[in-house]
């Protein structure tokens, strides 16, 4: 049980640090705050609502992993290195892909709401 408590404390520490210092994370938290009520009005079912919020949470998860990857790379070296650049670029690509997934899910939900029926 102590391991779970320690893991929770570590997670809270990371959340606080990211929320205080990382602009992208702050923006995604604001997006989540807007998505919670907006998703309620846009979705046509509970499953749809869960998918909308899940897409935003996926984006946040990928951003957290990308930030951790960048921090690890910076801890190794702040000087240019082709492998470190690739690692950071891959993290950035993962964030971009998760943005596209989230945007696609939300666009489909809006179309379903406007059309009045699931696509």
Looking at the annotation, which residues are catalytic? Answer: 63
Q: How far apart are CA 107 and CA 113, in angstroms?
A: 10
Under 8 Å CB-to-CB from 102, ≥6 apart: which residues?
55, 56, 58, 59
Q: How far apart are CA 1 and CA 43, in angstroms?
A: 38
Residues 22 and 67 sit within 8 Å (Cβ to Cβ)? yes
């Amino acid at each position: 049980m102590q391991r779970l408590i320690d893991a929770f404390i570590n997670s809270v520490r990371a959340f606080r640090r990211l929320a205080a210092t990382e602009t992208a994370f702050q923006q995604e938290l604001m997006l989540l705050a807007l998505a919670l009520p907006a998703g309620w009005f846009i979705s046509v079912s509970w499953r749809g609502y869960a998918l909308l919020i899940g897409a935003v949470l996926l984006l946040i998860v990928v951003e957290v992993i990308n930030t951790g990857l960048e921090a690890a790379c910076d801890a190794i070296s702040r000087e240019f290195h082709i492998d470190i650049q690739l690692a950071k670029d891959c993290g950035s690509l993962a964030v971009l892909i998760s943005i596209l997934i989230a945007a696609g899910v939300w666009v489909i939900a809006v179309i379903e709401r406007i059309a009045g029926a699931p696509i």
